[in-house]
């Protein structure tokens, strides 16, 4: 196997076609390769600075990039286009930030590396995708595997979009509620409190507490802003732990846990469909697909299934022990195992689970909307009550 060339990270300054300057970071084998990659985008390299590996690490390919790459590869390879030429065509179809990586893959393949090894060398591809490519090259069906991976990426984009909606919608509502509450506490409530104090109005205890809190917040607004900035910085530093805590909550919360389980199942079946299409044995496919499952209980049950399958257990019996999967799903898998048509069933279940995520997400949003309205009323309404109580007292005294 040809040894992959070393990849270096660079910060660079280049001239745009219109005369402006562009700054960025990119990986390349050497400076001439960096200049060539920029020239393909009609940019002229002016200056460059070699970076340490940790500073210039490139992010992985996004789902949209993966869908474009695999869709183009699947179409070109199925029509008999050689892999090196197909990669050259694909490089012209992807985003500018991804193009150099595709060109490095083309160079590696042209030098004799396998496609899976080229993907592993340039980085940005997860272990599951590389394993699918490796299995496809063994069976000679790289075009089919690329098409399946493109379909999987689109399904994951659809699922991720629903998950983002579920997170963003409550966050926006709660942020607006918090912003309005802070504005009322720091501006409106203290002004009304000062006016009522001059009028010598006896305030209810609740109103006194709220108005004292508002006056304190207005006096210490700078410290509160610094505390908020420190809290945001702490969240950014501990974002991994925060993300794990959020995931743990989502796996346990009513309604949310059903969405998360359907999402994990859709990802698992999508990987299994891609793996079995390339002729990978079920046990080996499970070893790869289990890496795509983040749900701890489901992953544990699937790993136990694989272990016992390798030890000689019957798949139809072991499937029935994966209690996290719905009963109908398990029965369908058992029937497919008996008929020997697991590949098509995995593909069908991947699509069904993606649709299930959408249905459960819509159901959850229908529940969240009135619930968030109630939360907004409790947050803002409690402040309004603290203002209205003394005003009603003042009105009654004026009427007398």
Q: What is the pTM of this model?
A: 0.69
CA 242 vs CA 160, 200, 231: distances in Å: 19, 48, 12
Taking alpha carbons only, the member of 295, 289, 347, 355 closest to residue 325 is 295
- For residue 366, how many other CB atoms are within 10 A of its CB? 9
The span from the CA of 77 to the CA of 75, in Å, is 6
User: Coil, strand, or helix at residue 12?
Assistant: strand
What letter does residue 341 receive in the DSSP assignment? -
In this prediction, residue 3 has a pLDDT band, given cuts at 50, 70 and 90, of very low
The span from the CA of 145 to the CA of 274, in Å, is 6
In the numeric block, the tokens 């179409």 are attached to 75
- Bridge partner list, 47: 13
The span from the CA of 145 to the CA of 116, in Å, is 12
Taking alpha carbons only, the member of 260, 91, 89, 66 closest to residue 154 is 66
- Bridge partner list, 26: 10
Angle at 262 between CA 258 and CA 265, to 5 degrees: 140
Class of residue 255 by CB neighbours under 10 A (exposed 0-12, middle 13-18, buried 19+)? middle
| Lowest-pLDDT range of 4-8, 38-42, 112-116 | 4-8
Rounded to 10 degrees, the C-alpha dihedral 369/370/375/379 comes to 100
Report the pLDDT averaged over residues 219-231.
88
Q: How is domain 63-155 classified at the architecture level of CATH?
A: Up-down Bundle (1.20)
Which stretches of 1-134 are assigned E, i.e. beta strand? 8-15, 21-28, 44-51
Question: Where exactly are the structural domains of the chain?
Answer: 8-51, 63-155
Which residues are CB-neighbours of 46 under 8 A, at least 6 positions away?
12, 13, 14, 15, 21
pLDDT tens sequence across 315-364: 888 888 888 888 888 898 888 888 888 888 888 888 888 888 888 888 88
Average pLDDT for the chain: 81
* Structure tokens belonging to residue 140: 């000679």
pLDDT tens sequence across 19-34: 788 888 777 767 887 7
DSSP string, 236-251: HHTHHHHHHHHHHHHH
Cα 212 to its chain centre, rounded Å, is 43
pLDDT tens sequence across 138-161: 888 888 888 888 888 887 787 777
- At 135 the pLDDT is 81
pLDDT tens sequence across 155-210: 778 777 777 777 787 888 888 888 888 888 888 888 877 777 776 667 778 888 88
In this prediction, residue 398 has a pLDDT band, given cuts at 50, 70 and 90, of low
In the 3-class helix/strand/coil scheme, how is 35-65 assigned residue by residue?
Answer: HHHHHHCCCEEEEEEEECCCCCCCCCCCHHH
- At 176 the pLDDT is 86
* Number of residues in the chain: 400
pLDDT tens sequence across 55-88: 555 556 778 888 888 999 989 998 899 999 999 8
In the numeric block, the tokens 């070699």 are attached to 50
Taking alpha carbons only, the member of 15, 20, 8 closest to residue 47 is 15
Q: Residue-wise over 43-74: b if at least 16 C-beta within 10 A, else e? A: bebeebeebeeeebebeebebebbbbbbbbbb
- What is the percent of the chain with per-residue pLDDT over 70, rounded to a whole number? 92
DSSP string, 165-233: HHHHHHHHHHHHHHHHHHHIIIIIHHHHHHHHHHTTPPPPHHHHHHHHHHHHHHHTHHHHHHHHHHHHH
Angle at 27 between CA 43 and CA 39, to 5 degrees: 20
């Amino acid at each position: 196997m040809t040894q992959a060339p070393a990849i270096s990270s660079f910060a660079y300054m280049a001239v745009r076609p219109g005369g402006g300057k562009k700054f960025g970071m990119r990986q390349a084998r050497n400076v001439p390769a960096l200049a060539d990659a920029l020239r393909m985008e009609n940019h002229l390299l002016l200056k460059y600075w070699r970076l340490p590996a940790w500073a210039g690490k490139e992010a992985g390919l996004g789902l949209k990039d993966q869908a474009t790459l695999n869709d183009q590869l699947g179409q070109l390879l199925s029509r008999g286009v050689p892999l090196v030429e197909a990669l050259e065509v694909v490089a012209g179809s992807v985003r500018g930030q991804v193009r150099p990586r595709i060109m490095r893959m083309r160079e590696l393949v042209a030098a004799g590396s396998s496609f899976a090894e080229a993907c592993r060398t340039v980085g940005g591809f997860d272990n599951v995708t590389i394993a699918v490519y490796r299995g496809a090259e063994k069976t000679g069906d790289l075009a089919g595997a690329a098409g399946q991976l493109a379909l999987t990426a689109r399904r994951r984009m659809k699922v991720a979009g629903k998950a983002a909606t579920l997170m963003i919608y409550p966050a926006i509502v709660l942020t607006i509620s918090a912003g309005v509450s802070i504005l009322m506490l720091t501006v409106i409530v203290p002004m009304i409190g000062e006016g009522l104090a001059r009028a010598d109005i006896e305030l209810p205890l609740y109103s006194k507490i709220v108005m004292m809190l508002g006056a304190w917040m207005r006096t210490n607004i700078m410290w509160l802003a610094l505390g908020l900035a420190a809290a945001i910085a702490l969240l950014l530093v501990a974002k991994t732990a925060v993300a794990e805590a959020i995931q743990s909550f989502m796996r346990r919360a009513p309604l949310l846990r059903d969405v998360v389980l359907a999402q994990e199942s859709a990802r698992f079946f999508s990987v299994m469909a891609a793996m079995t299409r390339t002729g990978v044995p079920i046990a080996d496919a499970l070893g790869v697909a289990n890496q795509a499952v983040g749900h701890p209980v489901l992953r544990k049950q699937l790993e136990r299934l694989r272990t016992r399958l390798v030890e000689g257990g019957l798949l139809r019996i072991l499937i029935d022990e994966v209690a996290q999967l719905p009963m109908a799903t398990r029965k369908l898998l058992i029937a497919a195992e008996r008929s020997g048509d697991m590949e098509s069933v995995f593909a069908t279940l991947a699509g069904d689970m993606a649709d299930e995520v959408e249905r459960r997400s819509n159901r959850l949003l229908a529940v969240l909307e009135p619930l968030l309205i109630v939360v907004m009323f409790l947050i803002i309404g409690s402040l309004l009550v603290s203002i209205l109580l003394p005003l009603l007292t003042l009105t009654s005294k004026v009427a007398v």
